[in-house]
Structure 1
Amino acid sequence: MRIYDLHCDVLYKMLLEPRLSFSDDKTLDVTYERLVEGGIGLQAFAIFLPEDRVPTFEMVEEAVHAFHTSILSRPKMVFVKSREDLSRAEREGGIGALLTLEGAEGLMGSLEYLQRAYDLGVRCLGLTWNYANWAADGVLEERRAGLTLKGRELVARCDEIGMIIDISHLNEPGFWEVLEFGKRPVIASHSNAAAVTGHPRNLSDEQIQAVIVRGGCIGITFVPDFIGGGQGIADVLKHLDHVCSLGGEDHVGFGSDFDGIDEYLHGLTHPGQYVKLTEALHKHYSSEQVEKFLHQNWRRFLEANLPE
């Protein structure tokens, strides 16, 4: 069973502490050994810039350098920039590594830097984090202004070059503007259902259905505050059930947010424990559905939206 996980923040920790090792470092949730243990077929690695530093494109490049030296240097890791890379990782039994950018701050308002990020292999862009930046307002920004004029230009340019837009962290006005000013499918790499747990980071039924209609994909995340309930694996399935009830069986997967969280679900604290989630899925869904949730839906989306 190959698992695709569309969000983790291990690169953020590496920016904060460059001496961290991707191999068997107990201060990290995501390590090479745990990806192997968990049967991970693809892991997305987010570039999230430390909030206590002035964001620059040089910091984005610093994260890309750490990605190459610490992560891609491991024997089974395959840098996924294209459909062919995705297929090669599967053929060779490797672990695909997808590079994403969480927040446009480091692009410094420049569409040229957007192109440079794409040239470096970044294939997915989350426009903002929880607050405002030059492109958009996040879910916790009180003014709720959506996209800026430059943000609209950014969305249009992402469409042109093939940069996938991630609407996790974007506020609802901005969400609808992304769908208005962009025409390609979008993803929510790590967001849950607001109807199940009313957290600002979760998506309304209308948003979930809009992502589905556009041909996008939603990654159910393991952040306890977003999950609610008793905060165990059974509560993850409630969000999965809800997305499926809205027509999302072919448009939902997982985006753990490991290394971006300080609290954990019971029994699901690192990628090596995906086996426990897999066991729970098999008790509630058909084998065909489990395959969709664990990798096929994300696989199909990436096959359709990565360059050849």
Structure 2
Amino acid sequence: MRESATSGYPIADFHCDVLWKLLKHEELSFDDRSESQIDVTPGRLHASQAILQTFAVFISPRMTSQAAVWKSVDLFYEHVLSNPKMHLIRTAADIDYAVHHGQTGALLSLEGVDGLYGDFSMLRLLYHLGLRAVGLTWNHANWAADGVLEPRQGGLTARGAQFVDECERLGIILDVSHLTEQGFWELADRVKRPFIASHSNAKSLCPHARNLADDQIKALIAIDGRIGITYVPYFVKEDGNATITDVLRHIEHVAALGGAKQLMLGSDFDGIEQYVQSLRHPADVPKLVEAMLRVFPEQVVTDITSGNAIRYLKEQLPTA
């Protein structure tokens, strides 16, 4: 049997919202029986040759509470990590272990710190449970910073700046995907370690508030941060009627700015109700790989699908 053209391109995805769906719908499970309601399932991850999947803890502004954060982490352990095909990523060595044993690495992130209520001890406890990446906001303002849809478009609060410092001290990756431009530049001026935009596209191609301006993209490239191209259709194309070719345009744009080594993938599966045509779940991602192979050399495609993300994690995660 001839192998497919994409068989040698393992996938690392830096954002999905499976935990949010499990939190909202207690009847669901992280298994292939739920694939009609969940985008990211073990079978689909296997079909896409996923070597890393980031699982975001997201709490709706209408239900923000510390209890909901803890419940989401419990769901991560009880549903995701209980699956023998998944392996918790805490350290750089965990990545090698997962790859060697044919497992998908599971990285825990926090999308918006609303539910922490400024409690740094909670952050430290979450770190001990495996939290390795944090976005300060979702789309609106909270105690730490303004999100991209907040009308005043402010930056970090005083407590938020202290929180950034604590993340830096712990070695937690900072994620600016939902942060205002003002907040982006304030964070950039404050931190020493390279940060990421886990699921954002290029604003010059699609002028959505959640996308990055070219100067932001260039700043991330300059510090060897990462930009996760996302499949949210209205972040890909202004009218939302997006195709894989449209996603490819964003990849090409970042690469043209010098970011071929900083590109990665950040699907936002399970956080969306509309989809890019033919890109509805992880098992469809090889179609995007095929599109990339038509315009990029194989090594560049390997870097974008997983190499850049894995290299970044091995440099930024603790060694033990």
TM-score in same-fold range (> 0.5): yes
Cα contact 2:248–2:288 (8 A) shared by 1: no
CA RMSD of aligned residues (A): 0.9
2:152 & 2:242 partners in 1: Cα distance?
31
Cα contact 1:16–1:50 (8 A) shared by 2: no
Residue deviations 1:168-193, cap 9 Å, x none?
01000000011112111100000000
Runs of 4 or more consecutive aligned structure 1 residues displaced over 6 Å after TM superposition: none
Return the letter of the residue paired with 1:89: A
Cα distance, 1:294 vs structure 2: 0.2
Tell me the equivalent position of 1:253.
264
Cα distance, 1:292 vs structure 2: 0.4
Find the residue that maps to 1:208 and give its secondary structure: helix
**Is 2:162 the partner of 1:159?**
no
Cα distance, 1:305 vs structure 2: 0.4
Return the letter of the residue paired with 2:220: V
Cα distance, 1:12 vs structure 2: 0.3
1:52 & 1:107 partners in 2: Cα distance?
15
2:223 & 2:232 partners in 1: Cα distance?
26
Deviates most, 101-110 or 56-65: 56-65
Find the residue that maps to 1:303 and give its secondary structure: helix
Give the TM-score taking structure 2 as reference length: 0.94
Residue deviations 1:149-178, cap 9 Å, x none?
001001111111101000001000000011
Find the residue that maps to 1:36 and give its secondary structure: helix
Residue deviations 1:239-268, cap 9 Å, x none?
011111111010001100000001001110
Selected match of 2:281 from 263, 270, 290:
270
2:311 & 2:204 partners in 1: Cα distance?
27
Residue deviations 1:198-246, cap 9 Å, x none?
1110000110011111120000000000000751000011101111111
Cα distance, 1:67 vs structure 2: 0.6
Tell me the equivalent position of 1:212.
221
Tell me the equivalent position of 2:25.
17
Tell me the equivalent position of 1:109.
118
Taking only the aligned residue pairs, the percentage that are identical comes to 46
2:26 & 2:92 partners in 1: Cα distance?
31
1:68 & 1:136 partners in 2: Cα distance?
29
Cα distance, 1:58 vs structure 2: 2.4
Tell me the equivalent position of 2:134.
125
Cα contact 1:46–1:102 (8 A) shared by 2: yes
Cα contact 1:15–1:50 (8 A) shared by 2: no
**Is 2:49 the partner of 1:70?**
no
Tell me the equivalent position of 1:145.
154
Find the residue that maps to 1:284 and give its secondary structure: coil
Q: Which runs of 5+ in 2 are unaligned?
A: 1-8
Find the residue that maps to 2:37 and give its secondary structure: coil
Selected match of 2:212 from 203, 211, 216:
203
